[in-house]
C-alpha cells in the first residue's frame, strides 16, 4: 500500500476567506500556490484551455468546445500533506460542501489513504469449448508464455516497472448461450489508466488463447470493475466540530451514523448516497482529464459486489465519541496519456495537485469522495440539503437576472428573506436596484 504523504508541500491548503475573493484573485492565489507559469495561468482561466484544433483531434465530428466551471476545494490534508483540489463541476454546493467537510476532517488530523498497485483487469471471452474446465487448465499451463506475450506488447509500461502480473480463469457454466471460459489478464499499468495498454495486450494474446484452448475468442476488453486497483481513505471528525446552533455534536454524529446505516441497508438510498460521493470524484476525474464514466462504472459495480447494491462509504462512532468515516472503491485513473496529456487545463490541474503518480491521484480522489459524502449527509442530517443549496441556487438566478457582481449578495438575501427564489423576482429586484 502506498501513501500520498511523500508529496512535497510547502504551504497550507487552509485558505480562510478564499470563497470571498473574486475569481481573478482566487486564480492568482492558486497560481502562486502552485507556481504556475503564465501559460498555465491562462489555461486555468479557460482562455488558453482546449482549443478547437485539439478538440478536433480528440473526438470525431467535433464542432466546438464545451466549457464548465473549474473550482478549487480548499482545506484538504491528506497523509499530512496540504493539497488544493481542482474540481470541474456544474452543480452548486459541491465545491463549498467538500471544502467545509475537508475542514472538519482536518480538525481530526486529515485523511489517511492507501491504494493497491495499479493493476487493471482485461477479459477474453472463449466459446465453442467442449470442456471449459479442460480449457481453463490448458490456459493456466501456458501462464508464463502468455504473461511474456503480454509484456512483449506493453512497451514502456514494463520499463517503468509495470507489466503482466497474473492470469485468472473464470468458467461461466450457465449463460444464455451456454458455457464459456473467461480469461482474466492482470496488468500493472503504472501511471496510465491503462485502457489502451490492456486492450492491445488482450488482442495480441487472443490467437494464442484460441490455439491453446481450441476454442473461439469473441470479446477482448478491459473490465471497469477494477477491483485489483482500489483506493482507500479514512478520517476522524471530532464530535465538537459537528455541533450546530440547535444540535449537539453527539446528536449530529448519531444522525450521520444513522444516515450511513440507511445507505448500507437500502439500495434506493445507496444510489443517492453514492451519487454524492461521485459528485466529488467525478469533478476531480474531469479536471484531470480522466475517464469519469470508467470510474463511475467501477464504483457502482463494486458497490453491488455482494449481490446487493450498497454504500461506498462507512460511518461509525469511535470509542471517544467522535465520527469516523472510510471509503474503499476501484479507482482506475492515470496521469499520463489520453485527455490528461492533451488537455492543457488537465495538466494544470495535475500541477496544482502536486502529485507524482497515478496512485496518489487515486488516493486523493477517494478522500474527496469521502469528504463530499460527509458534506451531503451532514447537511441532510441537520438542516436539510435545501437551505445551503437554495442560497447558491439563488446566486445563479440573481446572476442570470442581470445582477451586477456587487449586487448579487443583496439580491440573494432579499429573495431568501422573502422565500421567493424565482427568476421574475430576481429581475424585479435588479430593476429596483438599477432605479435607486
Site residues for ligand MEV per CB under 6 A: 91, 272-273, 275-276, 279, 376-377, 380, 385
Q: What is the smallest separation between the CB atom of 259 and ligand MEV, expressed in angstroms? A: 8
- What residue has cell string 468515516? 325
Indicate the residue whose CB is closest to ligand MEV: 276
Measured distance CA(114)–CA(236) in Å, rounded: 16
Q: What is the smallest separation between the CB atom of 102 and ligand MEV, expressed in angstroms? A: 17
Nearer to ligand MEV, 98 or 339 (CB): 98
Q: What is the smallest separation between the CB atom of 376 and ligand MEV, expressed in angstroms? A: 3
- Share in percent of the chain as helix, strand, coil (round to 5): 50, 20, 30
Q: What is the smallest separation between the CB atom of 257 and ligand MEV, expressed in angstroms? A: 14
Nearer to ligand MEV, 189 or 274 (CB): 274
Q: Which residues are catalytic?
A: 91, 275, 291, 389
- Which ranges of 336-385 would DSSP assign to H, the alpha helix? 338-342, 344-353, 358-381
- Which ranges of 84-226 would DSSP assign to H, the alpha helix? 94-107, 132-141, 143-152, 156-159, 195-213
Measured distance CA(25)–CA(243) in Å, rounded: 32
Give the closest residue to 227 by CA, choosing from 284, 294, 302: 302
Q: Backbone phi, then psi, for 82, in 5-degree steps? A: -85, 130
Nearer to ligand MEV, 118 or 235 (CB): 235
Nearer to ligand MEV, 41 or 311 (CB): 311
Q: What is the smallest separation between the CB atom of 367 and ligand MEV, expressed in angstroms? A: 17
DSSP SS3 for 199: helix
Nearer to ligand MEV, 217 or 256 (CB): 256
Measured distance CA(273)–CA(295) in Å, rounded: 16
- Which ranges of 59-116 would DSSP assign to H, the alpha helix? 94-107
Strands 323-330 and 230-237: antiparallel
Amino acid at each position: 500500500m502506498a501513501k500520498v504523504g511523500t508529496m512535497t508541500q510547502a504551504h497550507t491548503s487552509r485558505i480562510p476567506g478564499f470563497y470571498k475573493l473574486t475569481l481573478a484573485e482566487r486564480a492568482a492565489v492558486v497560481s502562486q500556490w502552485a507556481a504556475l507559469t503564465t501559460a498555465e495561468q491562462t489555461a486555468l482561466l479557460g482562455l488558453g484551455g482546449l482549443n478547437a484544433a485539439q478538440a478536433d483531434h480528440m473526438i470525431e465530428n467535433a464542432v466546438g468546445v464545451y466549457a464548465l466551471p473549474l473550482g478549487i476545494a480548499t482545506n484538504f490534508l491528506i497523509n499530512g500533506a496540504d493539497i488544493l483540489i481542482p474540481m470541474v463541476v456544474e452543480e452548486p454546493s459541491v465545491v463549498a460542501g467538500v471544502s467545509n467537510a475537508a475542514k472538519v476532517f482536518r480538525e481530526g488530523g486529515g485523511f489517511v489513504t492507501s491504494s493497491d498497485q495499479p493493476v487493471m483487469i482485461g477479459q477474453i471471452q472463449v466459446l465453442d469449448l467442449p470442456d471449459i474446465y479442460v480449457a481453463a487448465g490448458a490456459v493456466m499451463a501456458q501462464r508464463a508464455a502468455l504473461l511474456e506475450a503480454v509484456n512483449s506488447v506493453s512497451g514502456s509500461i514494463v520499463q517503468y516497472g509495470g507489466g503482466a502480473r497474473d492470469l485468472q480463469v473464470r468458467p461461466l457454466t450457465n449463460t444464455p448461450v451456454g458455457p464459456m471460459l473467461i480469461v482474466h489478464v492482470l496488468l500493472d499499468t503504472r501511471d496510465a489508466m491503462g485502457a489502451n495498454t490492456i486492450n492491445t495486450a488482450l488482442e495480441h494474446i487472443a490467437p494464442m488463447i484460441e490455439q491453446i484452448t481450441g476454442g473461439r475468442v469473441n470479446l477482448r476488453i478491459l473490465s471497469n470493475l477494477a477491483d485489483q486497483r482500489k483506493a482507500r481513505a479514512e478520517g476522524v471528525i471530532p464530535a465538537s466540530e459537528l455541533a450546530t446552533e440547535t444540535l449537539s455534536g453527539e446528536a449530529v454524529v448519531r444522525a450521520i451514523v444513522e444516515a450511513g446505516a440507511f445507505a448500507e441497508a437500502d439500495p434506493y438510498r445507496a444510489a443517492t448516497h453514492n451519487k454524492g460521493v461521485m459528485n466529488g470524484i467525478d469533478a476531480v476525474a474531469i479536471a484531470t482529464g480522466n475517464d469519469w464514466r470508467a470510474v463511475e462504472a467501477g464504483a457502482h459495480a463494486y458497490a453491488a459486489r455482494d449481490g446487493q447494491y450498497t454504500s461506498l462509504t462507512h460511518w461509525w462512532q469511535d470509542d471517544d465519541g467522535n465520527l469516523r468515516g472510510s471509503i474503499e472503491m476501484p479507482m482506475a485513473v492515470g496521469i499520463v496519456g489520453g485527455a490528461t496529456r492533451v488537455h492543457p487545463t488537465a495538466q494544470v490541474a495535475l500541477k496544482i495537485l502536486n502529485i507524482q503518480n497515478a496512485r496518489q491521484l487515486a488516493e486523493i480522489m477517494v478522500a474527496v469522495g469521502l469528504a463530499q459524502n460527509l458534506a451531503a449527509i451532514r447537511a441532510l442530517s441537520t438542516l436539510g440539503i435545501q437551505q445551503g443549496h437554495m442560497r447558491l441556487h439563488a446566486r445563479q438566478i440573481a446572476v442570470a437576472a442581470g445582477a451586477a457582481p456587487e449586487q448579487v449578495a443583496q439580491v440573494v438575501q432579499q429573495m431568501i428573506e422573502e422565500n421567493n427564489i424565482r427568476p421574475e423576482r430576481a429581475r424585479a429586484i435588479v430593476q429596483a436596484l438599477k432605479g435607486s
